Amino acid sequence: MGFLDELSRKISEGVDRAKFEAEKFQRTTAIQGEISDLRRQLDVKRLEFGDRALELYRAGAIQSPTLGGILREIEALQVSLTLKEEELRAVQGQVHVEPPPPPRTQNVPLTIEPPAPPPVTRPPQPVAGGKVCPGCGFQMPSTAVFCPNCGLRVGN
């Protein structure tokens, strides 16, 4: 059996397995749906039975201490349920309230300081055997093209 035959057989087995699992999933889902429907129907009938038994007990047609205890528990649960529903409505009706902005204050200086005087600048003074940078006043050799202190171009 060649490589391609073996590959074809493996692919065919994989396809068959995938079909089987898909059909199994469909059957399982269908049965689970039927079970859910039957449980809902059963719950509806139990509720109808319970409501009818409560009516008969309240009317005095059934005299059972056991049913009386269950009836009191049901009524207590109904009261609790009503209170919780009211609490829920109150919480749902709450609205967020933005806090008021903090009061604005002005920072007014009590004393005013005079501005600092501008720095005194002296024009560059020529130096014997050199020159002065017009940008920073650094004394440079006369052959300098750039100021070694600030980098300003000063020559040709």
pLDDT, mean of residues 67-71: 85
Kindly list the domain boundaries of the chain, sorted by start residue. 3-92, 126-156
What is the C-alpha separation between 28 and 36, in angstroms, rounded?
A: 12
In our burial notation (b when 16+ CB lie closer than 10 A, e otherwise), range 49-83 reads eeeebbeebeeeeeeeeeeeeebeeeeeeeeeeee
Please check whether residue 140 is in contact with residue 154, taking contact to mean a CB–CB distance below 8 angstroms. Answer: yes
Residue 48 DSSP SS3? helix
Q: How many CB atoms lie within 10 A of CB 131?
A: 19
Provide the CB-side half-sphere exposure for 119 (13 A, CA).
4
Residues 121-130 have a mean pLDDT of: 62
What percent of the chain has a predicted confidence (pLDDT) above 70?
88
Q: What percentage of the chain reaches a pLDDT higher than 90? A: 36
Residue 128 pLDDT level (bands cut at 50, 70, 90): low
User: How confident is the model over 70-107, as pLDDT tens digits?
Assistant: 888 888 998 999 999 999 999 988 888 888 888 877 77
Question: Where is average pLDDT lowest: 13-22, 24-33, 58-67?
Answer: 58-67
How far, in Å, CA of 124 to CA of 120, rounded?
Answer: 13
